[in-house]
Structure 1
Amino acid sequence: MKLRRRKKFAAEVATSSLNDIMFFLLLFFLIVSTVANPNVIKLLLPKAASSQQLSKKQVTLSVDANKQYFVDKQPVSPQNLEEELKTIMTGIEEPTVVVRFDKTLTVQDLVDVLQTGAKLNIRMVMATSK
C-alpha cells in the first residue's frame, strides 16, 4: 500500500516586515505629536498706533569670593540687600533676579540670598558656566 502525501497549497502572508513598518510609524507619530501644539489658534492681530510694553527687567545680583554683593555692578552691603532689591523691583510685573554666585562660597550663603528673594516674591535664577 502506497501512502501519498497530499500537497495542499496554503496561502501565507509574510508579516516579518510589518513589525518594522509599525515601529517606524509609531515613532513618526510620536515625534510629530510632540512638535505639533494643538492648543495654538492662529489669529491675525489688529495693529495699534501705540503699544504698551510690560516691564520685564532682569536684575543681576553678583556675589564674589570675598562676600561682596553687587546689584547691577553697584556695591551693596549684605544688610541693605533686601531694601535695595525691594526698591529696584517696585513696579515690575514679573521681577527676576539673575544670581551670579562664586563657586568657592558655601551653600548657606546662597540659601541666605535665595531666602531674601523668596521673602520679596522675586523669581531667582542661578547663572552657571558650561
Structure 2
Amino acid sequence: MAIKRNRRFHPEIPTASLSDIMFFLFLFFLIISTLANPNVIKLTLPKAKSNETTNKDHITLSVTEDQRYFVDKTEVSFSELENKLLEQTTLKGDKVVVVRLPADNKVQDLVDVMQIGVKLKLNFVIATAK
C-alpha cells in the first residue's frame, strides 16, 4: 500500500510590509509636493470671476503687506528691484513677470512696480484668485 503525503506547495506572497512602504512613499510625495510649489509666499490675492493658469515658468514678483519684495522667492529691497528684474529677464530670457500683490494693498504699490516694468519693457501679469 502506497502512502501519499499531502504536502503540496502553495505559493504565498508576504504583503505585511507593503502597507508600511506605501505609507512612507505617500508621506514622501506629500512633503516633496509642498516644497515644489513656486508660490510659497502666502498672499491673499485679489479675486476675479475668471482666471487663467500659466503653464510656463515665468518670473514671479511678490509684494507682501509690509512692503517686502520677493523675486522668485528671494527677498530684495525696492531700490534693488529694477536690477534684480533685469538680471532675471536676461538669465531666463523671458519678459513676462507675474505680479502677486495682496488684495488690500494700496494702488500706489502696484503703480510703483508697474513703472519699473514699463522702464524695462516687461510684460506684467497680475495674479488673482478665483
User: In which range does the TM-score fall when normalised by the shorter chain?
Assistant: 0.5 to 0.7
Structure 1: tracts of 5 or more residues without a match: 1-55
SS of aligned partner of 1:80:
helix
Q: 1:58 to 1:76 in 2, by over 3 A?
A: same
Q: 1:77 to 1:122 in 2, by over 3 A?
A: same
TM-score (norm 2): 0.54
Matches within 5 A, 1:41-120: 57-90=57-90, 92-120=92-120
Asked if 2 retains the 8 angstrom alpha-carbon contact of 1:57 and 1:95, the reply is no
Identical residues among aligned pairs (%): 47
Q: How many residues align?
A: 75
Higher relative contact order (CA 8 A, sep 6+): 2
State the shift of 1:107 in Å. Answer: 0.3
**1:36-83 superposed Cα distances (whole Å, 9 cap, x missing partner):** xxxxxxxxxxxxxxxxxxxx7510000011110000110010110001
SS of aligned partner of 2:90:
coil
Q: Which is greater in Rg?
A: 1
1-structure distance, mates of 2:94, 2:64: 26
Asked if 2 retains the 8 angstrom alpha-carbon contact of 1:114 and 1:124, the reply is yes
SS of aligned partner of 1:102:
coil
Computed over aligned residues only, the root mean square deviation of the Cα atoms, in angstroms, reads 1.5
Asked if 1 retains the 8 angstrom alpha-carbon contact of 2:58 and 2:94, the reply is no
